[in-house]
Structure formats: C-alpha cells, structure tokens
Structure 1
Amino acid sequence: MRTRTFLTAAVLAGAALFGVAGTAVADSPSPSPSGSAGAAGPTEAGTSFRTATPVKPGQKATAGASTGDYLYWVVPVDAGQRATMKAKVTLPEAARHGAATWQLDVYDGLRRRQACTYGAQTRAAAADAGSVELSCTLRTVRSWAEPWSNDPLPGGYYVRLTVTGLPQDDLGLPVRAAFEPVVTGAGGARAVDGKLAAPLVPGAAKLEPDGGWSSGRWHDRWVWTAVGGLLAALAGIAGYAVTRGAGRPSRVPPGA
C-alpha cells in the first residue's frame, strides 16, 4: 500500500514538473521573425565594411547604385538566432549586352566569410531579366566557440551585394537594390555553455538589438535538464521502494 501511494505521489510530482517546464518554454521567445517584417529601413548602403549601413532585423533597406558598385549593410544577430539575408536587385530597363552574375556575401564581426546553409547566394540574370533575387541563411549563432573554429558568434553581420560578372559595356548602368534580414529564434536546443565577454560589434555602428544582447541568459534547455534530473531521481526512489517491498516476507497472521 505504501509503495502504491509513493508511486502515485511520484507520478503527480512528475506531472507538476512537466507543467512547470511547459510554462517556462511557453514563456521563452518563440521562433518567429524579429521586428515588423518589411518595415521601412535605411534608403542607402555603405560602400565598404567601415561605412556599412546598420539595418535591424525585419527592416527593409533600399539603395540606388550603379552596376559594379559594392553595397554593404550590417545586421545584429544574437546567440540562439538564425538569420536569413535576402536581397533583390531591380535591373535597368536599358538594353544590356549579356547576362550578369550577382552575389550576396555575409561576414561576421571578425570579417570572416560565413557559409550559407541554404539559399541562392549567387544568381545569373539574363540580358532581358527585370530583377534578380538572392538569399543566404546562416547557421544558428552560438554564444561561445573555440578560437580555432569558424562558428558564427553574436554581433554584427556584414552583408555585401555586388555583381561578379557581366559584359564590360554594362558597367555603370543604374540599378535599385532592396535588402531585408529575417531573424528567427532557434530555442534552447541550440544553446551552448559559456558566452563571449562582448558581442562582435563594429565600433562605428549602433547595433544593439531591441532588449539588448541576450548571450548567456536563461535557456529552456536548462529547464528540461533540471526536470529530467528530478524525474530520474524520483524513478530511482520509486524503483528502490518497489524492490524493497517485493523482497519482504508477507506478514502471517498469528495462529494461522
């Protein structure tokens, strides 16, 4: 009877713990796009790393340029987030002499080129195409990494848009570029122990996200780790109680 009572209490305690964990996860940021998608942003772009134009996640930046120019923007991306950089180039209506290849490159705060997990980072536009669209989805940003690794870290991410190949006669033709960074949260499953002393943010740009940098804050992974440990302890105690009760001789009434 005592064993049954104990097992019932253990099950109820486990259910209560799962309820607490579920609440904690529900209270954590959901993996939805940051900011207001398509919100008006800057109307110009920088021409180098040092003059890169800051853009917040969810903003849509635009810029007029000439074919052959380098266009630079810089976006804040925090730990546990995954960024997708999107760009669209509206090509000139004037007759062009051939296809043009456009490319979108992303660099972190240390100016290390970051690989795209998916997306069309390079695309060729035919001579009669009206526009070309590119995108690059980065790996989830980590709060900390070994010095030798190339893991993406919290801070500013530079985005460079340019044409990499076209007929010489088409250089200098006017184009219109639109850039939009979309940032989503990956959750505690992507969290790692440790954090940077400070995000990798270029000194000239004010890039702190809304609400500040969250590196090293509470992750829902910690909740589930604690819940798992407590449930394991309860299971161990329950198992001990069951085996201890099974090993006892049953009490025989006197005079039987």
Structure 2
Amino acid sequence: MRITRVLSTALLALGLAAGPAAADSTPSPGASDDGKAPTRAGTSFRTATEIDQGQRATASGSTGDYLYWSFPADAGQRPTVAATVKLPASHGTQTWQIDVYDGLRRRQSCQYGAATRTAAQGTSSVELACVLRTVRAWSEPWANDPLPGTYYVRLTVVDLAAGDLGQPVSAEVRADSKHIGGAAAVDGSLAEPLVPGIAVKSAARKDGDGARSAVLSSIEPDGGWSSGWWSDRWVWTGIGGVLAALAGIGGYALTRGSGRPSRVPPNA
C-alpha cells in the first residue's frame, strides 16, 4: 500500500509538470488583423515598418525595390517568417529572397524553409518561408546566435530579366513563433534586448532626462521582454527533487522491515 501511494504521488507530480511543458510547445498567440495591419514597407533598416507577431502586413512596390519590416522576438521563441509575392500577369523568370537580420543587423541563417525561390515565366505568385533558430537569452560575443530584440525582414528580387525591372508587385509578410521552453534555456541573460536605441532610453531613465528617451524601435512582445528569466526547466528541476525524495521514502519503507527482531534470544 505504501508503494502504491508513493507511485500515485509520483504520477500526479509528473502530470502537473507536463502541463507547463505542453503549453510551452504550442505556438505563441499572435495579434489579430483588426484592420490596422500595415500596408506599406520601409526601404531600409532605419525605416522598416514595425509589425507584431501574428500580424499580416502588406505592401506594394516594384521589382528591384528592397522592402523592410521589423518584429520583436524574445528568448525561447523560434520565429517563422513567411512572405507571398504577387507578380504581374506578364513577366519572365524571377528569383525572390527573404533575409532576416537581428538587432545587430547580423544576417540569421534559416534552420529550414525556402527563403529563396524562383518563379517561372507567367507564375502569378511566389511563396517564401524562413524558420530561424531558437532565440537564446544569452550568447558568447563571438557567436552568431539569435538573441532577444528586434528582427528585420528584407524582401527583394535577386535575379530577373532587365525588361522586368520596375514592374509593379505586391507582397504579404507575416511573422509567427513557436515557444520552445526549457529545452532552449541557457544560464545568463542580456542586460537589454537588442533593440535600436534602447541603451539611450535606459540612460535617460537613470538620468531623468525625458528628452533622450526616444527609441528607434518601439515594438516589444506581449507582456514585455522576459530575457529568459523563466522557463519550464525550473518546473522540471523542482519535480526531479520531489521524485528523488519520494524514491528515498519508498526505499526506506521497503528496507526497514516491521521494526521488530525476527528472533528473541533466550534468557540467560
């Protein structure tokens, strides 16, 4: 009976721990399109149009233009950027590409997805996708790991016939992410996320100078920047300690016996 109670308690603890882990594996909820979605794109990093995760942005341009958007990504998220380019009715073979850069303007490689695609002659549209690596809360200065902060999306054509240059096109871009959880947790965190101008804003807060509080990028995740201070690794660590204690109690219950000697020595 004691062993049964111990096992029941252990299974209950595992069930409670599985709840947060399952929640972390689901995609993060995105912003709904409520008619306020951006309808233009920037032409450089400094003029990139800000979008929230889960928000569909559209823009019109011409073949040969560079179109820029930016979105926030926090520690533990695995961002996915998808783009659809609608091409004119008459065009030759074209190759389109999306590139994603972090807050330091370092190009981030795609873990998987078709970031470069060629549209054959007469194709009405081309779809692109880039799944980044999981954003880490901290990294070595020499590493190129994704870090919390602003991410930039650049969409452009990289190969086309000279006669197609300047033709009108329209594009749709959407950024989403999946929360990975404790599997991607690391020790340490950044002092500030990689958001352009946030260091100036932090200095202004310390000095009380409101005139210096401008930030080049104002977007941030829902609930603010976590910088990796919490992950389900804390939950599993606590559950591991509880299970170890229960195992010790169960082992003691099995080995201690009835507590009475099996034989009573005769009186001398």
TM-score band, normalised by the shorter chain? 0.7 to 0.9
Q: Conserved in 1, the CA contact under 8 Å of 2:189 and 2:229?
A: no
Q: Which residue of 1 aligns with 2:207?
A: none
Q: Give, in angstroms, the shift of residue 24 of structure 1.
A: 4.8
Distance 1:236 1:33 in 2: 39
Q: Please state how far the C-alpha of 1:71 moved relative to its aligned partner.
A: 0.3
After TM superposition, list the pairs within 5 Å mapping 1:21-40 onto structure 2. 21-22=17-18, 24-25=20-21, 31-36=26-31, 40=35
Deviations, residues 230-250 of structure 1 (Å, cap 9, x unaligned): 212332343345345499852
Question: How many residues were matched structurally?
Answer: 248
- Residue 80 of structure 2 aligns with which residue? 84
Q: What letter is aligned with 1:35?
A: G
Map of 2:43 onto structure 1: 47
Q: Secondary structure at the match of 2:111?
A: coil
* 1:205-252 CA-partner distances (Å, limit 9, x unpaired): 211112111223322221111111221233234334534549985244
Q: TM-score, normalised by structure 2?
A: 0.83
Offset at residue 107 of structure 1 (A): 0.6
Q: Partners in 2 of 1:120 and 1:25 — Cα distance? A: 29
- CA distance in 2 between partners of 1:131 and 1:8 (Å): 62
Deviations 1:97-116 (A, max 9, x none): x2111001011111111111
Distance 2:144 2:258 in 1: 56
| The one of 98, 113, 127 aligned to 1:119 | 113
Tell me the residue number matched to 1:69.
65
SS at match of 1:21: helix
What is the CA distance between 1:92 and its match in structure 2? 1.2
* Equivalent pair of 2:96/2:155 in contact (CA under 8 Å): yes
Q: SS state of the match for residue 108, structure 2?
A: coil
Contact 2:70/2:151, CA 8 A, preserved across alignment: yes
Cα distance between partner residues in 1 of 2:260 and 2:250: 16
1:222 alignment partner, one of 231, 234, 248: 234
What is the CA RMSD across the aligned residues, in angstroms?
Answer: 2.5
Matched, 1:137 2:131: yes
Deviation at 1:145, TM superposition (A): 1.2
Match in the other structure for 1:180: 174
